[in-house]
Amino acid sequence: QVQLVESGGGLVQPGGSLRLSCAASRFTLDYTPIAWFRQAPGKKREGIGCISSSNSNPYYYADSLKGRFTISRDVAKNTLYLQMNSLKPEDTAVYYCATDCVADYNTYFGSWGQGTQVTVSS
């Protein structure tokens, strides 16, 4: 199976920025990372957004993420990005990328990576 690798997480102060990257361990157009979701401690998985292979316009699950989170991708490199600005403590979570955009990642059995930890704290 394709292995997705997330990177770019870390510890940042509130108001800071991070840029997450997601790439497949093996380049393939059949398994392209197009979505981000996250899971905070004690909470369910929460979809962040998706950008389809046929549409470059990202879809965001919550309006609260718009303006702060921006999804983009480099088709040539089969790499997905998540630019996160104005980070808040409530953004603290493990961030995952996936090859599908679904309604609920809590019942998702497709491909996703191991996640990268984002911690927002002063």
Q: Are 113 and 5 in contact (CB under 8 A)?
A: yes
| pLDDT number for residue 55 | 66
| pLDDT number for residue 78 | 85
| pLDDT number for residue 96 | 95
Distance CA 87, CA 122 (A): 11
Residue labelled with tokens 């996640």: 115
Per-residue pLDDT of 49-97, as tens digits, reads: 999 767 678 888 888 787 899 999 988 888 999 999 999 999 999 999 9
| pLDDT number for residue 53 | 67
Give per-residue burial for 83-109: e unless 16+ CB within 10 Å, then b. Answer: ebeebeeebbbbbbbbbbbeeebeebe
Mean pLDDT of the chain, nearest integer: 89
Choose the weakest-confidence range: 27-31, 80-84, 94-98, 116-120.
27-31
